Chains A and B, each alone.
Chain A
Amino acid sequence: IQLTQSPSFLSASVGDRVTITCRASQGISTYLAWYQQKPGKGPMLLVYSTSTLQSGVPSRFSGSGSGTDFTLTISGLQPEDFATYYCQNFNSFSTTFGQGTRLEIK
Chain B
Amino acid sequence: EVHLLESGGGLVQPGGSLRLSCAASGFTFSDYGMTWVRQAPGKGLEWVSTISGFGSATYYSDSVKGRFIISRDNANNILYLQMDSLRADDTAVYFCAKLLGPSRVWDWFDPWGQGTLVTVSS
- Specify the chain A residue showing the minimal Cβ separation from B62: A94
Bound Cα distance A98, B61 (Å) = 16
B90-111 with Cβ < 8 A to chain A: 95, 97, 100, 106-111
Q: How many residues of A contact B (CB 8 A)?
A: 25
Contact of A13 with B by CB under 8 A: no
Q: Which residues of B contact A49 (CB under 8 A)?
A: 108
Contact of A70 with B by CB under 8 A: no
Contact of A64 with B by CB under 8 A: no
In the complex, the answer to whether B115 meets A92 with C-beta atoms within 8 Å is: no
In the complex, the answer to whether B111 meets A99 with C-beta atoms within 8 Å is: no
- Specify the chain B residue showing the minimal Cβ separation from A5: B44
Contact of B53 with A by CB under 8 A: no
- Specify the chain B residue showing the minimal Cβ separation from A93: B59
Contact of B13 with A by CB under 8 A: no
Contact of A58 with B by CB under 8 A: no
Bound Cα distance A91, B105 (Å) = 10
Contact of A88 with B by CB under 8 A: yes
> With A43-B45, A48-B100 given, is the CB distance from A91 to B106 under 8 Å?
yes
Bound Cα distance A44, B35 (Å) = 14
Chain B interface residue number, banded: 20 to 34
Which listed residue, B106, B107, B115, touches A42 by the CB 8 Å rule?
B115
Which listed residue, A45, A86, A91, touches B100 by the CB 8 Å rule?
A45
Which listed residue, B47, B95, B110, B114, touches A94 by the CB 8 Å rule?
B47
Q: Which residues of A contact B46 (CB under 8 A)?
A: 97
Q: Which residues of B contact A35 (CB under 8 A)?
A: 45, 109
In the complex, the answer to whether A45 meets B44 with C-beta atoms within 8 Å is: no
Q: Which residues of A contact B112 (CB under 8 A)?
A: 42-44
Which listed residue, A40, A54, A95, A98, touches B50 by the CB 8 Å rule?
A95
17 contacts between A and B (CB under 8 A): A40-B114, A41-B114, A42-B111, A42-B113, A44-B112, A45-B110, A86-B45, A88-B45, A88-B109, A90-B106, A90-B108, A94-B47, A95-B106, A96-B47, A97-B46, A100-B44, A100-B45
Residues of chain B having any CB pair with chain A under 8 Å: 35, 44-47, 50, 59, 61, 95, 97, 100, 106-115
